[in-house]
């Protein structure tokens, strides 16, 4: 696994909590038949039903396979994933995402190449691997994933024949209706209109400055809005050419955080902070604090970065 920790892709690359579906049932498999004998352990997921998969991941680790019908390596890898998941007897489940049919999830996971395999543990994404890999490597990575899940207290097992019921149970809308401005933001995110979602969350905070969900959603959707049109290679080239250009460094830090390279994002901004004159540092400190909030104050990477920031300040 490239960074086997919850939140490695983001409590940041996509606002996972806002992707909760309101009353959608699990999609029927299309194009990929579930592994024989365990249809409940392998299922398709869509932009609309992804929220239920997040909830399911609080009970059992969910492996997410991002694929497309035209992708040859995907067709090689998918049967291997299904086989290994099936043999693990419900300790993992496999959610399949057709990236062509579900652009919001493809963008949220920044699936620049496929097949791409990530996991969800307790609602947080964990990057696993990209490309078709050998079965032995899949088994090794899944073993590491189960160890990580155990550390997070996610040790549920989906019995054969009952996984469908577990997923259906997770799909039932047992939460109260969202407040109007939150609902507006949710709808805007579903439509890919992040600027409108930002406006809705800002309005919610104006009404109630203690609305922590709106504050978290605002930070996450601002990140989505900033990175959606960026090209990683172009951004890195611009940052390398102008190491003290704040906007150029911000762009790469945003992309790094969205792509799961949390330490890299923090180190880039901390290095920039250290290089700038004292009277030019405020925007960098503000962006760092914003990114800290996205990853979570209790995260070890945030704690380390805060420590370095404090040492630079005093």
Peptide bond before residue 100 is cis, with ω within 30 degrees of 0: no
Catalytic residue, from 41, 42, 66, 71: name it: 71
Concatenated DSSP letters of 12-71: SSS-GGGG--SSPPPBPP-SSPPPTT-GGGEEE--TTTHHHHHHHTTTS-EEEEEE-TT-
Does residue 74 have an active-site annotation?
Answer: yes
Tokens linked to 211: 């609305």
Catalytic residue, from 42, 53, 74, 227: name it: 74
Lateral strand order in the sheet of 42-44: 42-44, 93-98, 62-67, 116-121, 124-130
Question: H helices within 97-155, ranges in order?
Answer: 103-108, 135-151
Backbone angles phi, psi at 10, to 5 degrees: 165, 125
Does residue 46 have an active-site annotation?
Answer: no
Q: Return the active site residues.
A: 71, 74
């Amino acid at each position: 696994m490239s960074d086997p920790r919850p939140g490695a892709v983001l409590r940041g690359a996509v606002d996972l909590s806002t992707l909760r579906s309101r009353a959608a049932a699990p999609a029927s498999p299309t194009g990929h038949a579930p592994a024989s004998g365990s249809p409940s352990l392998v299922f398709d997921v869509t932009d609309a039903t992804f929220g239920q998969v997040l909830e399911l991941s609080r009970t059992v680790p969910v492996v997410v396979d991002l694929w497309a019908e035209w992708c040859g390596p995907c067709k090689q890898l998918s049967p291997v994933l299904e086989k290994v998941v099936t043999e693990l007897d419900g300790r993992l489940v496999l959610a399949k995402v057709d990236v062509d049919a579900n652009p919001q999830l493809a963008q949220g996971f920044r699936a620049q190449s496929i097949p791409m395999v990530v996991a969800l543990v307790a609602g947080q994404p964990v990057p696993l691997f990209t490309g078709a890999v050998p079965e032995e490597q899949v088994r090794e990575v899944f073993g590491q994933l189960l160890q990580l899940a155990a550390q997070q207290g996610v040790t549920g097992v989906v019995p054969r024949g009952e996984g469908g019921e577990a997923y259906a149970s997770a799909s039932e809308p047992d939460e109260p209706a969202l407040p109007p401005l939150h609902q507006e933001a949710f709808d805007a995110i579903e439509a890919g209109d992040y600027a409108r979602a930002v406006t809705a969350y800002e309005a919610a905070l104006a009404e109630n400055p203690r609305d922590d969900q709106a504050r978290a959603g605002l930070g996450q959707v601002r990140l989505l809005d900033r990175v959606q049109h960026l090209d990683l290679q172009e951004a890195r080239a611009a940052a390398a050419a102008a190491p003290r250009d704040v906007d150029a460094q911000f762009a790469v830090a945003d992309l790094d955080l969205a792509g799961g390279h949390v330490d890299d994002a923090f180190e880039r901004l901390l290095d920039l902070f250290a290089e700038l004159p004292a009277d030019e540092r405020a925007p960098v400190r503000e962006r760092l604090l914003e990114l800290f909030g996205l990853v979570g104050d209790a995260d070890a990477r945030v704690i380390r970065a805060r420590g370095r920031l404090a040492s630079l300040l005093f």
